[in-house]
Structure 1
Amino acid sequence: MSQPLQFAVFGHPIAHSLSPQIHQAFARQFGITLEYRAIDAAPDAFAGAVKHFFNEDHARGANVTLPHKSAAFALADERTQAATRAGTANVLTRLADGRLSAHNTDGHALVRDLTERHDLDLRGHDALLLGAGGASRAVAWSLFEAGVQTLTIVNRSPEAADTLADAIGEPARVHTRYWEDLANIGSFDLIVNATSAGTLGQSLTLPMSLAGSRAACYDLAYGKSAFAFLAWARAAGARYAYDGLGMLVEQAADAFELWHGQRPGTEPVYQSLRAQGS
């Protein structure tokens, strides 16, 4: 009996990860037998842990989450356009010649969750992106390409926001503002929280005036990490308030398709996770 193909998710911490459960659920849809494990690697041990994993004969791919996405990008031998734009990678794939390829599927996953699962047409929206780190860089281009009318990037460090806006290169539609100006920049149809505040257990104080009457508010985090932002969104009168669970499932599906050549159905897995309280 041949050994099953090996997959993993790297993070620190990682015990909370839903990725093993998601990938096993996808595999069952196709009758695929695989092993998928969560590997906790501190930042200084990440490169060695990845090398050790991919040295296994049956290792094929890995997902990467906080805090390793930038390190994963740096480790790779080749990188997709989406990964290069973001400067981060959430998927590593071992190629036939043993080299590692880096991908970033976060942006496409966010847009798919918003437009297909939640049936939002982003065209013509004025969008506010909170944060300018790796998570923001991963989704900014995808929001822009999905047709938002304007994209305003606000970050506590203005330089990072300016760098991201300059990289997109559409000054008529992509703007940056100072964090302290949030109370005076009007309202938005789409507000995406790409800061790490919720994940780190930090408070995120936002003015109620940001949410327009038809606003959709979206936190890239899910579960408890998104509670505070979603509570603010509802209090501010937003029409929709979503966490990033759907994005998590969609980016996992992208990785699964990359590795197995078949795209799994995501809605049953999403609904199952919701029913479990995720």
Structure 2
Amino acid sequence: MNDTGSFAQYVVIGNPIAHSKSPEIQTRFAADTAQDLRYGRLLAPLNGFAAAVQQFIAQGGKGANVTVPFKLQAYALASSLTARAKAAGAVNTLKFDGADILGDNTDGIGLVTDIARNAGYDLAGKKILLLGAGGAARGAMLPLLQSAPLQLVIANRTPAKADELIQKFQPCAQGCALTACAFADLQQPFDLVINATSASLQADVPPIAPQVFGAATLAYDMMYGRQPTPFMQFAAAQGAQVRDGLGMLVEQAAESFFVWRGVRPRTDAVFAALRAQLS
């Protein structure tokens, strides 16, 4: 990040960070929209996130994506927060404007955009099952509820954590039936099943009954890889349609780009390029 020139500077901040696809994605967005910017990686010390951000701002930085393990620290650092960042309780996008540090969370809207636009799946009036009650699930809640589903069930290994999400988001339900349960309580089929657990990282599947999937069910895993995740394989074996989280990655990045630049990039070419790399 030393050769700044006259370009606006952006980074993805994390630890580790070398694996991040963000520079490839955001650089392609910049080229496609004729935006003059430079985008790189910033490895922040585990105990030095705020200092790393302030140093980047001092060097002329205009914005940043934030990845693990710093999303909660980014939330605390922000001087102002968007409604979706407040709802998520975490920040993955920072925008620097003078003394103001705006914190946003684009993960949930990235998920919904991928499902609604790229998969062509209308969420309105649907019965949705959200697996998990951690940060990924919480970040998805507000955008999912804003899509006007008929029902949203949060299932978790510890039902009390799911109950906490229900209580928090009940005021945003807008007529959607919000309920919580344990994995073992699930027996009926859903229109959409979203895996927001970390099970796929351990090559595992949440302990759910096959009955949650039907022939018309879309099973969506927030994770992605070269091969279908164990969750996707399990859902497909029950006859469900499946989709991984690569599109969510691209769409949340596009939303960050829009927050920074006020320009909404097309995502299809970037998605196709990343998918080709995985094949």
Using the size of structure 1 for normalisation, the TM-score is: 0.91
**Map 1:44-193 → 2, pairs under 5 A:** 44-57=47-60, 59-95=61-97, 97-169=98-170, 170=173, 173-182=177-186, 185-193=187-195
CA distance in 1 between counterparts of 2:179 and 2:168 reads 12
Offset, 1:139? 0.8
Paired AA for residue 180 in structure 1: A
Aligned to 2:12: 9
Offset, 1:99? 2.0
Closer/same/farther in 2, CA of residues 7 and 172 from structure 1, 3 Å limit: closer
- Match status 1:38 vs 2:44: no
**Map 1:245-264 → 2, pairs under 5 A:** 245-264=246-265
Residues 75-84 or 265-274, more deviating: 265-274
Offset, 1:141? 1.8
Listed as ranges, the gaps of 5+ residues in structure 2 are none
Q: How many residues align?
A: 273
Paired AA for residue 153 in structure 2: T
Residues 9-18 or 159-168, more deviating: 9-18
Percent of aligned positions with the same letter in both sequences? 40
Paired AA for residue 165 in structure 1: I
Offset, 1:154? 1.1
CA distance in 2 between counterparts of 1:55 and 1:225 reads 42
Check conservation: 1:122, 1:147, Cα contact below 8 A: yes
Aligned to 2:219: 217
Check conservation: 1:11, 1:66, Cα contact below 8 A: yes
Residues 138-147 or 19-28, more deviating: 138-147
Using the size of structure 2 for normalisation, the TM-score is: 0.91
Aligned-residue Cα RMSD (Å) equals 2.0
Offset, 1:202? 5.2
CA distance in 1 between counterparts of 2:51 and 2:234 reads 41
CA distance in 2 between counterparts of 1:78 and 1:123 reads 31
Deviations 1:147-180 (A, max 9, x none): 2110000122222211111111149600000133
Offset, 1:186? 1.3
Residues 25-34 or 78-87, more deviating: 25-34
Paired AA for residue 214 in structure 1: A
Paired AA for residue 141 in structure 1: L
Deviations 1:9-54 (A, max 9, x none): 1223222211100001011113333221122335323222222222
Check conservation: 1:83, 1:104, Cα contact below 8 A: yes
Check conservation: 1:109, 1:251, Cα contact below 8 A: yes
Aligned to 2:271: 270
Closer/same/farther in 2, CA of residues 93 and 225 from structure 1, 3 Å limit: farther
Residues 134-143 or 39-48, more deviating: 39-48
Paired AA for residue 188 in structure 1: F
Offset, 1:70? 1.6
Residues 47-56 or 156-165, more deviating: 47-56
Check conservation: 1:201, 1:225, Cα contact below 8 A: no
Deviations 1:77-103 (A, max 9, x none): 1100000011011101101x2221100
Offset, 1:254? 1.0
Check conservation: 1:11, 1:67, Cα contact below 8 A: yes
Closer/same/farther in 2, CA of residues 48 and 115 from structure 1, 3 Å limit: same
Residues 74-83 or 31-40, more deviating: 31-40
SS of the residue aligned with 2:144? helix
Closer/same/farther in 2, CA of residues 201 and 32 from structure 1, 3 Å limit: same
